[in-house]
Amino acid sequence: MKVKVVKDYEEMSQEAAYFLEDEVKNNPASKLGLATGGTPRGTYHHLVKGYRERGVDYSQVTTFNLDEYVNLPRNHEQSYHTFMEKHLFSHIPFHATYLPNGQAEDLEAECAAYEKLIETEGPPDVQLLGIGENGHIGFNEPGASFGSTTHIAELTDTTRQANARFFSSLEEVPKQAITMGISSILKSKKILLLVSGSAKEAAIERLLTGEVDEGFPASVLYRHADVTLIVDEDAYRKDVDESGG
């Protein structure tokens, strides 16, 4: 795992945008795996800026999102469809963009179809990831099998409480989501993990021990050959050992 410590959220976001832009410049038909939540929002802001100011061309780029809440209408202001539209897709024309459908009548069939899509249209050249305070990646919560493919995840209380800041109350936060599984995520050729803020300090400390176990999903990233972590100073403690893996 390559670890890059940056000053703050802004610098993390700019660095991440440059990383993705380089990928697209080197391969105009890149496939990008995208994430939602507070972490990647600044990255998308910089991608949009790069598109407008530096003319980065996304017309051949295909995107795949990690996850979507179950049973939240697609046009709900907190659905991940809405998030992506608001922060990225309405600003940059991509060749194709994909998210799981959390309102599918047959959710199991939707999971299987999304996994198939990743296999046939993907895998992503780069997968952008954030990390939950409990170590989740996508919505793969602690205990999720490292062999998991796209599936329906039950969200833990920690995750629902963390995401309640986006809703008017905790009760409104969905209890389930469709998420790419851990094995789906590991198929990406490169992984870019972004971490910012003191709330993630304990998660980073645990990640950087290098110990791999299903109780801490992000630790599986040590089994991938090309992971870059960009972490800001608030999330990173200098006394941790980053040699693991």
Cite the active site residues.
67, 134, 136, 141
- The answer to the question of residue 38 lying near ligand F6P (CB under 6 A) is yes
Contact region for ligand F6P (CB under 6 A) — 24-32, 113-121, 130-138, 225-233?
A: 130-138
- The answer to the question of residue 127 lying near ligand F6P (CB under 6 A) is no
- The answer to the question of residue 130 lying near ligand F6P (CB under 6 A) is yes
HSE, side-chain direction, 13 A CA sphere, residue 127:
29
Taking CB under 6 A as the criterion, which residues in 52-71 touch ligand F6P?
66-67
Instruction: Output 38 or 142, the one with its CB closest to ligand F6P.
Output: 38
**Looking at 100, 132, 181, 217, which residue binds ligand F6P (CB under 6 A)?**
132
Q: Closest residue to ligand F6P, Cβ-based?
A: 130
59: Cβ–Cβ under 8 A, 6 or more apart, which residues?
A: 28, 93, 94, 95
d(CA 50, CA 57): 9
Task: Spell 70-88 as b/e; 16+ CB within 10 A means b.
Answer: bebeeebebbbbbbbbebb
Cβ 19 vs Cβ 244: under 8 Å = no
What's the min distance (Å) between Cβ of 130 and ligand F6P? Answer: 2
Instruction: Output 105 or 175, the one with its CB closest to ligand F6P.
Output: 175
Instruction: Output 14 or 39, the one with its CB closest to ligand F6P.
Output: 39
Token pair 């998660």: residue: 203
- The answer to the question of residue 16 lying near ligand F6P (CB under 6 A) is no
Cβ 201 vs Cβ 235: under 8 Å = yes
- The answer to the question of residue 39 lying near ligand F6P (CB under 6 A) is yes
Contact region for ligand F6P (CB under 6 A) — 30-38, 99-107, 223-231, 233-241?
A: 30-38
> Which H or E element spans position 51?
helix 38-54
Contact region for ligand F6P (CB under 6 A) — 36-44, 55-63, 68-76, 146-154?
A: 36-44
Per-residue x/- mask for ligand F6P, residues 76 to 115, rule CB under 6 A? ----------------------------------------
Q: Kindly list the residues in this chain that would bind ligand F6P in the complex (CB under 6 A).
A: 35-39, 66-67, 130, 132, 138-139
